[in-house]
Amino acid sequence: MTLVQLLLPLYDAEGTRFPTAQFDAVARELTERFGGLTAYARSPAAGLWEEAPGKTRRDDIVVYEVMVEALDARWWRGYRERLEAEFRQKELVVRAQEIRRL
């Protein structure tokens, strides 16, 4: 089993908050396709990265998680690219890790 995590920004590069409907659409699509998801959206996580030496950037993000039996990397790559366009991002983090149910 694989856990896929999507890290979605709350704001675009100009600081405008994305509408709730945009996140709802992603949640609905993932739920319909995979049968459910977990959303960490109440207290946004902070994403930090060094854009250049001495210049740190910050994003407030929400995390969506989906568990899948088999990872279709090609589908997820295409989905990531689509979300990058919809959220006007150079790059979105979509990551996967093997998990074991206990």
Whole-number pLDDT of residue 48: 60
What are the residues whose beta carbons fall under 8 Å from the beta carbon of 15, sequence distance 6 or more?
none
Domain 2-98, CATH 3.30.70.120 — does that match?
A: yes
* Upper half-sphere CA count for residue 47 (Cβ side, 13 Å): 15
> Are 94 and 3 in contact, with CB atoms under 8 Å apart?
no
pLDDT confidence tier of residue 3, bands split at 50, 70 and 90: very high
Look at residues 20, 33, 28, 9 and name the one whose alpha carbon lies nearest to residue 83: 9
Domain ranges of the chain: 2-98
Q: Is the pTM of this model over 0.95?
A: no
| Average pLDDT for 36-57 | 74
The label of the residue with tokens 């896929």 reads: 4
